Structure 1
Amino acid sequence: MHGVVQHSLIILAVLTSLGVIFGLVLAYANKKMAIEVNPLIHIVEDVLPKGQCGACGFAGCMAYAEAVVTNPDVPPNLCTPGKDPVAKLVGDLTGKAAAAVEPRIAQVKCAGTHTKAVKANEYHGVQDCVAANLLFGGPKSCKFGCLGLGTCVKACPFGAMTMSEDGLPIIDPDKCTGCAKCETVCPKKVIAMMPIGAHVRVNCNSHDKGAVAKKACSVSCIGCTLCVKECQYGAIKMDNNLAVVDAKVCMEKCDNPTCLAKCPTKAIRQAVLGIVPGNEETVA
Protein backbone atom coordinates (compact mmCIF):
# COMPACT_ATOMS: atom_id res chain seq x y z
CA MET A 1 0.00 0.00 0.00
CA HIS A 2 2.84 2.34 0.93
CA GLY A 3 4.51 1.62 -2.42
CA VAL A 4 1.35 2.49 -4.34
CA VAL A 5 1.06 5.84 -2.56
CA GLN A 6 4.70 6.61 -3.18
CA HIS A 7 4.34 5.71 -6.85
CA SER A 8 1.30 7.97 -7.17
CA LEU A 9 3.18 10.87 -5.58
CA ILE A 10 6.04 10.42 -8.03
CA ILE A 11 3.63 10.49 -11.00
CA LEU A 12 1.91 13.60 -9.61
CA ALA A 13 5.27 15.32 -9.12
CA VAL A 14 6.33 14.47 -12.69
CA LEU A 15 3.05 15.71 -14.17
CA THR A 16 3.25 18.93 -12.13
CA SER A 17 6.82 19.51 -13.29
CA LEU A 18 5.84 18.92 -16.90
CA GLY A 19 2.92 21.31 -16.53
CA VAL A 20 5.18 24.04 -15.17
CA ILE A 21 7.74 23.47 -17.95
CA PHE A 22 5.11 23.53 -20.71
CA GLY A 23 3.57 26.65 -19.18
CA LEU A 24 6.90 28.43 -19.19
CA VAL A 25 7.55 27.36 -22.79
CA LEU A 26 4.13 28.61 -23.93
CA ALA A 27 4.53 31.90 -22.09
CA TYR A 28 7.95 32.43 -23.70
CA ALA A 29 6.61 31.53 -27.17
CA ASN A 30 3.63 33.82 -26.74
CA LYS A 31 5.89 36.72 -25.83
CA LYS A 32 8.29 36.09 -28.71
CA MET A 33 5.59 35.55 -31.32
CA ALA A 34 3.18 38.24 -30.15
CA ILE A 35 2.09 40.62 -32.92
CA GLU A 36 2.16 44.24 -31.91
CA VAL A 37 -1.27 45.85 -32.52
CA ASN A 38 -1.37 49.35 -33.91
CA PRO A 39 -2.75 51.45 -31.02
CA LEU A 40 -4.67 53.59 -33.54
CA ILE A 41 -6.97 50.62 -34.17
CA HIS A 42 -8.26 50.77 -30.59
CA ILE A 43 -8.57 54.55 -30.75
CA VAL A 44 -10.73 54.30 -33.89
CA GLU A 45 -12.80 51.51 -32.36
CA ASP A 46 -13.52 53.71 -29.34
CA VAL A 47 -15.23 56.36 -31.52
CA LEU A 48 -17.51 53.82 -33.22
CA PRO A 49 -21.06 53.26 -31.84
CA LYS A 50 -20.36 49.62 -30.78
CA GLY A 51 -23.61 48.36 -32.28
CA GLN A 52 -21.76 45.47 -33.96
CA CYS A 53 -24.41 45.76 -36.69
CA GLY A 54 -22.18 45.00 -39.67
CA ALA A 55 -23.53 47.91 -41.73
CA CYS A 56 -19.93 48.73 -42.67
CA GLY A 57 -19.53 45.34 -44.32
CA PHE A 58 -17.15 44.03 -41.65
CA ALA A 59 -17.74 41.61 -38.77
CA GLY A 60 -18.17 44.20 -36.05
CA CYS A 61 -16.61 47.48 -34.99
CA MET A 62 -13.17 46.08 -34.19
CA ALA A 63 -12.87 44.48 -37.62
CA TYR A 64 -13.81 47.74 -39.33
CA ALA A 65 -11.42 49.72 -37.13
CA GLU A 66 -8.57 47.41 -38.07
CA ALA A 67 -9.46 47.57 -41.77
CA VAL A 68 -9.83 51.35 -41.97
CA VAL A 69 -6.53 51.87 -40.15
CA THR A 70 -4.44 49.31 -42.03
CA ASN A 71 -6.03 49.30 -45.48
CA PRO A 72 -5.74 52.56 -47.48
CA ASP A 73 -8.64 51.48 -49.71
CA VAL A 74 -11.18 51.26 -46.86
CA PRO A 75 -13.02 54.60 -46.55
CA PRO A 76 -13.74 56.24 -43.17
CA ASN A 77 -17.47 56.78 -43.79
CA LEU A 78 -18.73 53.18 -43.75
CA CYS A 79 -20.23 53.40 -40.25
CA THR A 80 -23.82 54.28 -41.14
CA PRO A 81 -25.03 54.44 -37.51
CA GLY A 82 -22.29 56.95 -36.66
CA LYS A 83 -23.29 59.22 -39.54
CA ASP A 84 -21.17 62.27 -40.45
CA PRO A 85 -19.69 63.01 -36.98
CA VAL A 86 -18.13 59.54 -36.68
CA ALA A 87 -17.05 59.54 -40.33
CA LYS A 88 -15.22 62.84 -39.78
CA LEU A 89 -13.54 61.56 -36.61
CA VAL A 90 -12.40 58.35 -38.30
CA GLY A 91 -11.21 60.37 -41.28
CA ASP A 92 -9.21 62.74 -39.08
CA LEU A 93 -7.65 59.83 -37.16
CA THR A 94 -6.68 57.90 -40.28
CA GLY A 95 -5.82 60.86 -42.50
CA LYS A 96 -8.53 60.03 -45.01
CA ALA A 97 -11.13 62.27 -46.60
CA ALA A 98 -14.63 61.36 -45.40
CA ALA A 99 -17.48 61.70 -47.88
CA ALA A 100 -20.88 62.62 -46.43
CA VAL A 101 -22.98 59.80 -45.00
CA GLU A 102 -26.54 59.95 -46.30
CA PRO A 103 -28.90 59.76 -43.31
CA ARG A 104 -31.42 56.97 -43.72
CA ILE A 105 -34.06 55.16 -41.74
CA ALA A 106 -35.73 51.76 -41.90
CA GLN A 107 -39.18 51.51 -43.44
CA VAL A 108 -41.65 48.63 -43.29
CA LYS A 109 -43.05 47.94 -46.75
CA CYS A 110 -46.26 46.35 -45.50
CA ALA A 111 -49.52 47.64 -44.06
CA GLY A 112 -51.07 44.19 -43.75
CA THR A 113 -52.21 44.29 -40.14
CA HIS A 114 -54.27 41.54 -38.51
CA THR A 115 -57.47 43.17 -39.77
CA LYS A 116 -56.31 43.99 -43.28
CA ALA A 117 -54.37 40.87 -44.30
CA VAL A 118 -56.10 37.54 -44.85
CA LYS A 119 -54.76 34.47 -43.07
CA ALA A 120 -54.10 31.28 -45.01
CA ASN A 121 -53.47 29.16 -41.92
CA GLU A 122 -52.73 29.30 -38.19
CA TYR A 123 -49.10 29.16 -37.08
CA HIS A 124 -48.23 27.89 -33.60
CA GLY A 125 -44.52 27.18 -34.02
CA VAL A 126 -41.39 29.02 -32.93
CA GLN A 127 -42.08 32.74 -32.70
CA ASP A 128 -39.55 33.63 -35.34
CA CYS A 129 -40.16 34.94 -38.85
CA VAL A 130 -37.47 32.78 -40.43
CA ALA A 131 -38.94 29.63 -38.87
CA ALA A 132 -42.52 30.58 -39.86
CA ASN A 133 -41.42 31.33 -43.41
CA LEU A 134 -40.10 27.79 -43.77
CA LEU A 135 -43.62 26.44 -43.20
CA PHE A 136 -45.61 27.20 -46.37
CA GLY A 137 -44.26 30.76 -46.44
CA GLY A 138 -45.98 31.74 -43.21
CA PRO A 139 -49.61 32.13 -42.11
CA LYS A 140 -50.61 35.04 -44.36
CA SER A 141 -52.27 34.59 -47.75
CA CYS A 142 -49.90 37.25 -49.06
CA LYS A 143 -46.53 35.53 -49.30
CA PHE A 144 -44.72 38.85 -49.55
CA GLY A 145 -46.03 40.49 -46.38
CA CYS A 146 -44.67 40.96 -42.86
CA LEU A 147 -45.03 37.84 -40.72
CA GLY A 148 -45.28 39.91 -37.55
CA LEU A 149 -43.23 37.66 -35.25
CA GLY A 150 -40.64 40.28 -34.39
CA THR A 151 -37.39 38.79 -35.66
CA CYS A 152 -36.37 42.26 -36.81
CA VAL A 153 -37.20 43.74 -33.40
CA LYS A 154 -34.97 41.20 -31.65
CA ALA A 155 -32.14 41.82 -34.11
CA CYS A 156 -32.07 45.62 -33.81
CA PRO A 157 -28.88 46.50 -31.91
CA PHE A 158 -30.15 49.97 -31.01
CA GLY A 159 -33.61 49.12 -29.63
CA ALA A 160 -35.25 51.16 -32.36
CA MET A 161 -38.09 48.74 -33.15
CA THR A 162 -41.22 47.53 -31.37
CA MET A 163 -44.09 45.31 -32.44
CA SER A 164 -47.51 46.94 -32.58
CA GLU A 165 -50.71 45.26 -31.42
CA ASP A 166 -51.66 45.14 -35.11
CA GLY A 167 -48.76 42.81 -35.84
CA LEU A 168 -46.39 45.16 -37.65
CA PRO A 169 -43.04 46.66 -36.58
CA ILE A 170 -42.85 50.32 -35.65
CA ILE A 171 -39.60 52.19 -36.26
CA ASP A 172 -38.53 54.75 -33.65
CA PRO A 173 -37.05 57.61 -35.73
CA ASP A 174 -35.09 58.90 -32.73
CA LYS A 175 -33.29 55.58 -32.24
CA CYS A 176 -33.02 54.13 -35.75
CA THR A 177 -29.51 54.57 -37.15
CA GLY A 178 -30.17 53.06 -40.56
CA CYS A 179 -27.74 50.22 -39.90
CA ALA A 180 -29.96 47.81 -41.92
CA LYS A 181 -29.59 44.93 -39.47
CA CYS A 182 -33.37 44.49 -39.51
CA GLU A 183 -33.33 44.46 -43.30
CA THR A 184 -30.85 41.60 -43.43
CA VAL A 185 -32.77 39.30 -41.06
CA CYS A 186 -36.22 39.71 -42.61
CA PRO A 187 -36.98 36.58 -44.67
CA LYS A 188 -39.64 38.44 -46.69
CA LYS A 189 -37.45 41.47 -47.48
CA VAL A 190 -40.25 43.65 -46.14
CA ILE A 191 -37.85 46.13 -44.53
CA ALA A 192 -35.77 48.54 -46.57
CA MET A 193 -33.80 51.72 -45.95
CA MET A 194 -35.12 55.06 -47.15
CA PRO A 195 -33.58 58.54 -46.98
CA ILE A 196 -34.54 60.76 -44.06
CA GLY A 197 -36.94 63.34 -45.45
CA ALA A 198 -38.56 61.10 -48.07
CA HIS A 199 -41.99 62.44 -49.07
CA VAL A 200 -43.83 59.22 -49.84
CA ARG A 201 -43.44 55.49 -49.41
CA VAL A 202 -45.18 52.38 -50.69
CA ASN A 203 -46.59 50.31 -47.84
CA CYS A 204 -46.56 47.09 -49.80
CA ASN A 205 -44.14 44.40 -50.86
CA SER A 206 -46.44 42.20 -52.96
CA HIS A 207 -45.59 41.24 -56.51
CA ASP A 208 -48.89 39.42 -57.06
CA LYS A 209 -51.19 40.65 -59.78
CA GLY A 210 -53.99 43.03 -58.85
CA ALA A 211 -56.89 40.68 -58.12
CA VAL A 212 -54.72 38.17 -56.26
CA ALA A 213 -52.98 40.88 -54.21
CA LYS A 214 -56.26 42.60 -53.28
CA LYS A 215 -57.85 39.30 -52.23
CA ALA A 216 -54.95 38.60 -49.84
CA CYS A 217 -54.75 42.12 -48.39
CA SER A 218 -57.14 45.06 -48.65
CA VAL A 219 -54.34 47.65 -48.70
CA SER A 220 -52.01 46.00 -51.20
CA CYS A 221 -50.60 47.63 -54.30
CA ILE A 222 -52.62 46.26 -57.23
CA GLY A 223 -50.25 47.43 -59.94
CA CYS A 224 -52.82 49.73 -61.54
CA THR A 225 -50.08 52.23 -62.57
CA LEU A 226 -52.25 55.26 -61.71
CA CYS A 227 -49.49 56.66 -59.48
CA VAL A 228 -46.94 56.16 -62.24
CA LYS A 229 -49.06 58.12 -64.71
CA GLU A 230 -49.74 60.86 -62.16
CA CYS A 231 -46.07 61.49 -61.30
CA GLN A 232 -44.79 64.10 -63.75
CA TYR A 233 -41.19 63.61 -62.60
CA GLY A 234 -40.84 59.92 -63.37
CA ALA A 235 -40.11 59.12 -59.72
CA ILE A 236 -42.43 56.09 -59.66
CA LYS A 237 -41.81 52.90 -61.62
CA MET A 238 -43.52 49.52 -61.70
CA ASP A 239 -41.43 46.52 -60.66
CA ASN A 240 -43.26 43.27 -61.33
CA ASN A 241 -46.73 44.59 -60.35
CA LEU A 242 -45.39 46.74 -57.48
CA ALA A 243 -44.98 50.52 -57.44
CA VAL A 244 -41.48 51.63 -56.44
CA VAL A 245 -40.63 55.25 -55.58
CA ASP A 246 -37.25 56.81 -56.30
CA ALA A 247 -37.03 58.81 -53.08
CA LYS A 248 -34.19 61.03 -54.28
CA VAL A 249 -36.05 62.18 -57.39
CA CYS A 250 -39.22 62.65 -55.36
CA MET A 251 -37.43 64.75 -52.72
CA GLU A 252 -35.55 66.88 -55.23
CA LYS A 253 -38.36 67.66 -57.66
CA CYS A 254 -41.73 67.22 -55.98
CA ASP A 255 -43.26 69.31 -53.19
CA ASN A 256 -46.85 68.26 -53.85
CA PRO A 257 -47.19 64.47 -54.18
CA THR A 258 -50.51 64.23 -56.03
CA CYS A 259 -49.91 60.51 -56.56
CA LEU A 260 -51.28 59.85 -53.08
CA ALA A 261 -54.84 60.73 -54.04
CA LYS A 262 -54.74 58.46 -57.09
CA CYS A 263 -53.97 55.18 -55.27
CA PRO A 264 -57.25 53.22 -54.95
CA THR A 265 -56.00 51.06 -52.06
CA LYS A 266 -53.96 53.74 -50.29
CA ALA A 267 -50.85 51.58 -50.61
CA ILE A 268 -48.80 54.67 -51.38
CA ARG A 269 -48.82 57.13 -48.47
CA GLN A 270 -46.93 60.01 -46.94
CA ALA A 271 -43.68 58.93 -45.31
CA VAL A 272 -44.72 59.66 -41.72
CA LEU A 273 -42.22 58.19 -39.26
CA GLY A 274 -42.83 56.37 -35.99
CA ILE A 275 -46.26 54.92 -36.78
CA VAL A 276 -47.78 51.63 -37.90
CA PRO A 277 -47.53 51.53 -41.72
CA GLY A 278 -50.85 52.40 -43.30
CA ASN A 279 -51.78 55.01 -40.68
CA GLU A 280 -50.06 57.89 -42.52
CA GLU A 281 -53.31 59.32 -43.82
CA THR A 282 -54.92 59.53 -40.38
CA VAL A 283 -51.99 61.30 -38.71
CA ALA A 284 -51.13 63.76 -41.49
Structure 2
Amino acid sequence: MTILTPFIILGALGILFALLLGFASKKFEVQVDRRVLKVREMLPGANCGACGFPGCDGLADAIVNKGAPCNSCPVGGKETADKLAAFMGADAVDSAKQVACVMCQGTPEYATEKFKYKGIMDCRVNHNLQGGSKTCPDGCLGCGSCVDVCDFDAIHIVNGIALVDKEKCTSCKKCIEICPRNIIKLVDYDQDVYVRCNSHDKGKDVRQYCKVGCIACGICAKMCADGFSVEDNLAHFNNAEGLDPEQVQKAVDKCPTKAIYPGLKIKEEQAKAKAQEAAVKEA
Protein backbone atom coordinates (compact mmCIF):
# COMPACT_ATOMS: atom_id res chain seq x y z
CA MET A 1 0.00 0.00 0.00
CA THR A 2 2.88 2.34 0.81
CA ILE A 3 4.25 1.81 -2.69
CA LEU A 4 0.91 2.61 -4.36
CA THR A 5 0.26 5.80 -2.38
CA PRO A 6 2.39 8.13 -4.59
CA PHE A 7 0.73 6.76 -7.73
CA ILE A 8 -2.73 7.27 -6.26
CA ILE A 9 -1.86 10.86 -5.27
CA LEU A 10 -0.41 11.65 -8.71
CA GLY A 11 -3.43 10.12 -10.43
CA ALA A 12 -5.81 12.15 -8.28
CA LEU A 13 -3.86 15.33 -8.99
CA GLY A 14 -3.91 14.54 -12.71
CA ILE A 15 -7.68 14.15 -12.67
CA LEU A 16 -8.05 17.35 -10.64
CA PHE A 17 -5.85 19.37 -13.02
CA ALA A 18 -7.70 17.96 -16.03
CA LEU A 19 -11.01 19.06 -14.53
CA LEU A 20 -9.60 22.51 -13.74
CA LEU A 21 -8.22 22.91 -17.26
CA GLY A 22 -11.52 21.79 -18.75
CA PHE A 23 -13.39 24.30 -16.61
CA ALA A 24 -10.94 27.09 -17.47
CA SER A 25 -11.18 26.37 -21.21
CA LYS A 26 -14.94 26.78 -21.06
CA LYS A 27 -14.90 29.72 -18.66
CA PHE A 28 -12.34 31.75 -20.60
CA GLU A 29 -13.16 30.51 -24.08
CA VAL A 30 -12.77 33.14 -26.79
CA GLN A 31 -15.71 32.99 -29.13
CA VAL A 32 -14.55 32.88 -32.75
CA ASP A 33 -16.95 33.72 -35.53
CA ARG A 34 -17.06 30.65 -37.75
CA ARG A 35 -17.51 32.94 -40.73
CA VAL A 36 -14.05 34.36 -40.07
CA LEU A 37 -12.59 30.86 -40.13
CA LYS A 38 -14.40 30.07 -43.37
CA VAL A 39 -13.23 33.29 -45.03
CA ARG A 40 -9.70 32.56 -43.83
CA GLU A 41 -9.84 29.18 -45.58
CA MET A 42 -10.81 30.88 -48.85
CA LEU A 43 -7.84 33.26 -48.77
CA PRO A 44 -4.59 32.10 -50.42
CA GLY A 45 -2.56 32.23 -47.20
CA ALA A 46 0.34 34.29 -48.57
CA ASN A 47 0.28 36.59 -45.51
CA CYS A 48 1.99 39.25 -47.63
CA GLY A 49 0.07 42.19 -46.15
CA ALA A 50 -0.67 43.65 -49.58
CA CYS A 51 -4.31 44.06 -48.56
CA GLY A 52 -3.32 46.54 -45.86
CA PHE A 53 -4.24 44.22 -43.00
CA PRO A 54 -1.94 42.13 -40.76
CA GLY A 55 -1.94 38.94 -42.80
CA CYS A 56 -4.78 36.74 -43.99
CA ASP A 57 -6.22 36.39 -40.47
CA GLY A 58 -6.52 40.16 -40.19
CA LEU A 59 -8.17 40.42 -43.60
CA ALA A 60 -10.63 37.62 -42.82
CA ASP A 61 -11.73 39.42 -39.66
CA ALA A 62 -11.97 42.73 -41.53
CA ILE A 63 -14.16 41.25 -44.28
CA VAL A 64 -16.56 39.66 -41.79
CA ASN A 65 -16.66 42.28 -39.04
CA LYS A 66 -15.43 45.56 -40.51
CA GLY A 67 -16.92 45.65 -43.98
CA ALA A 68 -13.67 45.31 -45.91
CA PRO A 69 -14.31 44.71 -49.64
CA CYS A 70 -14.32 41.11 -50.82
CA ASN A 71 -11.75 42.00 -53.48
CA SER A 72 -9.20 43.26 -50.94
CA CYS A 73 -6.79 40.38 -51.61
CA PRO A 74 -4.66 41.14 -54.69
CA VAL A 75 -3.00 37.72 -54.55
CA GLY A 76 -6.27 35.80 -54.74
CA GLY A 77 -7.55 37.96 -57.56
CA LYS A 78 -11.01 37.78 -59.08
CA GLU A 79 -11.53 34.09 -58.34
CA THR A 80 -11.07 34.56 -54.60
CA ALA A 81 -13.11 37.78 -54.64
CA ASP A 82 -16.04 36.00 -56.30
CA LYS A 83 -15.94 33.17 -53.74
CA LEU A 84 -15.85 35.61 -50.84
CA ALA A 85 -18.67 37.69 -52.29
CA ALA A 86 -20.84 34.60 -52.74
CA PHE A 87 -20.16 33.46 -49.17
CA MET A 88 -20.77 36.89 -47.65
CA GLY A 89 -23.86 37.52 -49.76
CA ALA A 90 -22.28 40.61 -51.28
CA ASP A 91 -22.20 41.82 -54.86
CA ALA A 92 -19.16 40.67 -56.78
CA VAL A 93 -16.81 43.57 -57.47
CA ASP A 94 -15.38 43.46 -60.97
CA SER A 95 -11.89 44.91 -60.72
CA ALA A 96 -9.21 44.70 -63.38
CA LYS A 97 -6.18 42.63 -62.50
CA GLN A 98 -3.07 44.71 -62.05
CA VAL A 99 0.62 43.90 -62.13
CA ALA A 100 3.79 45.78 -61.29
CA CYS A 101 5.82 47.45 -64.03
CA VAL A 102 9.28 48.98 -63.71
CA MET A 103 9.14 52.36 -65.43
CA CYS A 104 12.70 52.34 -66.67
CA GLN A 105 14.53 50.75 -69.58
CA GLY A 106 17.86 52.44 -68.94
CA THR A 107 20.18 49.48 -69.39
CA PRO A 108 23.96 50.17 -69.42
CA GLU A 109 23.92 50.59 -73.20
CA TYR A 110 21.38 53.42 -72.96
CA ALA A 111 21.92 55.14 -69.59
CA THR A 112 25.09 56.67 -68.16
CA GLU A 113 26.50 56.25 -64.66
CA LYS A 114 28.12 58.74 -62.31
CA PHE A 115 30.34 56.04 -60.83
CA LYS A 116 30.70 52.27 -60.61
CA TYR A 117 28.90 51.03 -57.54
CA LYS A 118 30.72 48.21 -55.74
CA GLY A 119 28.88 48.14 -52.42
CA ILE A 120 26.32 45.69 -51.07
CA MET A 121 23.57 44.85 -53.52
CA ASP A 122 20.83 46.97 -52.02
CA CYS A 123 19.16 49.75 -54.00
CA ARG A 124 18.54 51.80 -50.86
CA VAL A 125 22.22 51.82 -49.97
CA ASN A 126 23.16 52.68 -53.55
CA HIS A 127 20.58 55.47 -53.67
CA ASN A 128 21.84 57.00 -50.42
CA LEU A 129 25.40 57.12 -51.75
CA GLN A 130 25.68 60.46 -53.57
CA GLY A 131 22.16 60.04 -54.92
CA GLY A 132 22.88 56.71 -56.59
CA SER A 133 25.32 55.42 -59.18
CA LYS A 134 23.06 56.09 -62.17
CA THR A 135 23.13 59.63 -63.55
CA CYS A 136 19.37 59.68 -64.01
CA PRO A 137 17.83 60.48 -60.60
CA ASP A 138 14.82 58.30 -61.45
CA GLY A 139 16.50 55.34 -63.14
CA CYS A 140 16.55 51.73 -61.94
CA LEU A 141 19.72 51.05 -59.95
CA GLY A 142 19.54 47.32 -60.61
CA CYS A 143 20.74 46.10 -57.20
CA GLY A 144 17.73 43.83 -56.78
CA SER A 145 16.08 44.97 -53.55
CA CYS A 146 12.75 44.38 -55.29
CA VAL A 147 13.86 40.88 -56.24
CA ASP A 148 14.72 40.05 -52.64
CA VAL A 149 11.29 40.99 -51.25
CA CYS A 150 9.21 39.28 -53.94
CA ASP A 151 7.67 36.09 -52.56
CA PHE A 152 6.47 34.95 -55.97
CA ASP A 153 9.66 34.96 -58.08
CA ALA A 154 8.02 37.55 -60.31
CA ILE A 155 10.83 40.07 -60.71
CA HIS A 156 14.44 39.65 -61.85
CA ILE A 157 17.40 41.80 -62.85
CA VAL A 158 17.95 41.56 -66.60
CA ASN A 159 20.78 43.52 -68.22
CA GLY A 160 21.11 45.83 -65.24
CA ILE A 161 17.46 46.73 -64.64
CA ALA A 162 14.52 45.08 -62.91
CA LEU A 163 11.95 43.32 -65.07
CA VAL A 164 8.58 41.98 -63.90
CA ASP A 165 7.07 38.70 -65.09
CA LYS A 166 3.40 39.69 -65.28
CA GLU A 167 2.31 36.05 -65.30
CA LYS A 168 3.73 35.57 -61.81
CA CYS A 169 3.07 39.02 -60.36
CA THR A 170 0.30 39.19 -57.75
CA SER A 171 0.41 42.99 -57.28
CA CYS A 172 1.36 42.57 -53.61
CA LYS A 173 3.18 45.94 -53.83
CA LYS A 174 6.24 44.84 -51.85
CA CYS A 175 8.55 45.81 -54.72
CA ILE A 176 6.82 49.18 -54.96
CA GLU A 177 7.28 49.87 -51.27
CA ILE A 178 10.97 48.98 -51.15
CA CYS A 179 12.08 50.85 -54.29
CA PRO A 180 13.90 54.01 -53.12
CA ARG A 181 13.20 55.77 -56.41
CA ASN A 182 9.48 54.98 -56.69
CA ILE A 183 9.81 53.77 -60.27
CA ILE A 184 7.64 50.64 -59.94
CA LYS A 185 3.97 51.24 -60.69
CA LEU A 186 0.83 49.14 -60.93
CA VAL A 187 -0.69 48.86 -64.40
CA ASP A 188 -3.57 46.84 -65.82
CA TYR A 189 -2.62 43.26 -66.64
CA ASP A 190 -3.92 43.56 -70.20
CA GLN A 191 -2.19 46.88 -70.86
CA ASP A 192 0.00 46.62 -73.95
CA VAL A 193 1.62 50.06 -73.89
CA TYR A 194 3.73 51.71 -71.18
CA VAL A 195 5.70 54.93 -70.95
CA ARG A 196 8.67 53.20 -69.38
CA CYS A 197 10.30 56.25 -67.89
CA ASN A 198 9.88 58.05 -64.59
CA SER A 199 12.07 61.10 -65.11
CA HIS A 200 10.60 64.54 -64.53
CA ASP A 201 13.71 66.38 -65.72
CA LYS A 202 13.66 68.64 -68.73
CA GLY A 203 14.16 66.98 -72.09
CA LYS A 204 17.61 68.47 -72.69
CA ASP A 205 18.80 67.07 -69.36
CA VAL A 206 17.33 63.63 -70.02
CA ARG A 207 19.15 63.46 -73.35
CA GLN A 208 22.45 63.94 -71.51
CA TYR A 209 22.14 60.76 -69.48
CA CYS A 210 19.63 58.44 -71.19
CA LYS A 211 18.96 57.57 -74.82
CA VAL A 212 15.56 56.00 -74.13
CA GLY A 213 14.11 58.42 -71.58
CA CYS A 214 11.01 60.56 -72.07
CA ILE A 215 11.96 64.08 -73.18
CA ALA A 216 8.42 65.46 -72.87
CA CYS A 217 8.34 66.47 -76.54
CA GLY A 218 4.56 65.93 -76.65
CA ILE A 219 4.53 64.11 -79.99
CA CYS A 220 2.59 61.20 -78.49
CA ALA A 221 -0.12 63.53 -77.19
CA LYS A 222 -0.38 65.19 -80.61
CA MET A 223 -0.67 61.84 -82.39
CA CYS A 224 -3.20 60.40 -79.92
CA ALA A 225 -4.69 63.02 -77.63
CA ASP A 226 -7.09 60.60 -75.95
CA GLY A 227 -4.36 58.12 -75.13
CA PHE A 228 -1.43 60.28 -74.08
CA SER A 229 -0.79 63.40 -72.05
CA VAL A 230 2.33 65.16 -70.78
CA GLU A 231 2.51 66.39 -67.21
CA ASP A 232 5.54 67.63 -65.30
CA ASN A 233 7.92 66.74 -68.15
CA LEU A 234 6.70 63.15 -68.37
CA ALA A 235 4.31 61.48 -70.80
CA HIS A 236 1.51 59.28 -69.46
CA PHE A 237 -0.58 56.65 -71.23
CA ASN A 238 -4.30 56.49 -70.55
CA ASN A 239 -5.34 52.85 -70.88
CA ALA A 240 -9.00 53.64 -71.51
CA GLU A 241 -11.55 51.79 -73.58
CA GLY A 242 -12.35 53.06 -77.04
CA LEU A 243 -8.84 54.12 -77.99
CA ASP A 244 -8.01 53.80 -81.66
CA PRO A 245 -5.23 51.16 -81.84
CA GLU A 246 -3.85 52.70 -85.01
CA GLN A 247 -3.52 56.11 -83.38
CA VAL A 248 -1.84 54.57 -80.34
CA GLN A 249 0.58 52.68 -82.58
CA LYS A 250 1.39 55.86 -84.52
CA ALA A 251 2.23 57.58 -81.24
CA VAL A 252 4.44 54.66 -80.24
CA ASP A 253 6.23 54.66 -83.59
CA LYS A 254 6.77 58.44 -83.60
CA CYS A 255 8.36 58.58 -80.14
CA PRO A 256 11.91 59.82 -80.89
CA THR A 257 13.52 58.04 -77.94
CA LYS A 258 11.32 54.92 -77.93
CA ALA A 259 10.34 55.64 -74.33
CA ILE A 260 6.84 54.35 -75.10
CA TYR A 261 7.32 50.65 -74.84
CA PRO A 262 4.89 48.14 -76.42
CA GLY A 263 4.00 45.17 -74.27
CA LEU A 264 5.07 42.79 -77.05
CA LYS A 265 8.69 43.74 -76.53
CA ILE A 266 8.31 43.27 -72.79
CA LYS A 267 7.17 39.71 -73.43
CA GLU A 268 10.22 39.21 -75.63
CA GLU A 269 12.43 40.41 -72.78
CA GLN A 270 10.69 38.06 -70.39
CA ALA A 271 11.38 35.17 -72.74
CA LYS A 272 15.05 36.18 -72.91
CA ALA A 273 15.20 36.42 -69.12
CA LYS A 274 13.78 32.93 -68.71
CA ALA A 275 16.19 31.59 -71.32
CA GLN A 276 19.12 33.15 -69.47
CA GLU A 277 17.96 31.64 -66.18
CA ALA A 278 17.63 28.21 -67.78
CA ALA A 279 21.13 28.50 -69.24
CA VAL A 280 22.59 29.40 -65.83
CA LYS A 281 20.86 26.43 -64.18
CA GLU A 282 22.14 24.03 -66.85
CA ALA A 283 25.70 25.34 -66.58
Asked whether the 8 Å contact 2:166–2:189 carries over to 1, the reply is no
Q: CA separation of 1:31/1:140 partners in 2, compared to 1, >3 Å: closer, same or farther?
A: farther
| 1:104 equivalenced with 2:98 (yes/no) | yes
- In the alignment, what sits opposite 1:59? 54
SS at match of 2:166: coil
How is 1:31-46 mapped onto 2 (pairs within 5 angstroms)? 32-46=27-41
Contact 1:170 1:274 in 2 (8 A): no
Q: Which residue identity does 1:172 align to in structure 2?
A: D
Which residue pairs with 2:231 in the alignment? 239
TM-score by length of 1: 0.81
Q: How many positions carry a matched residue from both structures?
A: 253
The residue number in structure 1 matching 2:253 is 261
Q: 1:128 to 1:213 in 2, by over 3 A?
A: same
For the structure 1 residues 263 and 44, does the alpha-carbon distance in structure 2 shift closer, same or farther, using more than 3 Å as the test?
Answer: same
Q: Tell me if structure 1 keeps the 8 A contact 2:252–2:258.
A: yes
Matches within 5 A, 1:110-259: 110-164=104-158, 166-233=159-226, 235-248=227-240, 251-256=241-246, 257=248, 258-259=250-251
Distance in 1 (CA, whole Å) between partners of 2:162 and 2:269 is 7
Query: Structure 1 residues 210 and 147 mapped into 2: Cα distance closer, same or farther (>3 Å)?
Result: same
Sequence identity, in percent? Answer: 36
C-alpha contact 1:168 1:276 (8 A) present in aligned 2: no
Q: Deviations over 1:77-111 (max 9, x none)?
A: 11122121100111122222221121112111000
User: In the aligned structure 2, how far is the partner of 1:59 from the partner of 1:115?
Assistant: 42
Amino acid of the structure 2 residue aligned with 1:37 = V
What's the offset of the Cα at 1:276? 4.2
Residue ranges of structure 2 left out of the alignment (5+ in a row)? 1-18, 273-283
* Matched residue type, 2:218: T
Q: Secondary structure at the match of 2:242?
A: helix
Across the aligned residues of Structure 1 and Structure 2, the Cα RMSD in angstroms comes to: 2.6
Deviation at 1:207, TM superposition (A): 0.7
What are the within-5 Å matches in structure 2 for residues 64-103 of structure 1?
A: 64-71=59-66, 73-103=67-97
| 1:221-254 superposed Cα distances (whole Å, 9 cap, x missing partner) | 1111111111142x21112111011112xx4322
The one-letter code sitting in structure 2 at the alignment partner of 1:220 is G
Instruction: Give the Å deviation of 1:188.
Output: 0.9
Cα deviation per residue 1:202-231 (whole Å; 9 max; x = unaligned)? Answer: 111111111111111111111111111111
Flag the 1:148–1:25 CA change in 2: closer, same or farther, 3 A. Answer: farther
- How far apart in 2 are the matches of 1:27 and 1:268? 68
Instruction: Show structure 1 runs of 5+ residues with no match.
Output: 1-23, 280-284
Instruction: Return the offset for 1:30.
Output: 7.1
Secondary structure of the 1:125 match is coil
CA spacing shift, 1:178–1:252, aligned 2, 3 Å: farther
- CA distance in 2: counterparts of 1:197 and 1:254, whole angstroms: 16
State TM-score, norm by structure 2. Answer: 0.81
CA contact (8 A) 1:75 1:96 kept: no
- In 2, Cα distance between equivalents of 1:137 and 1:59: 33
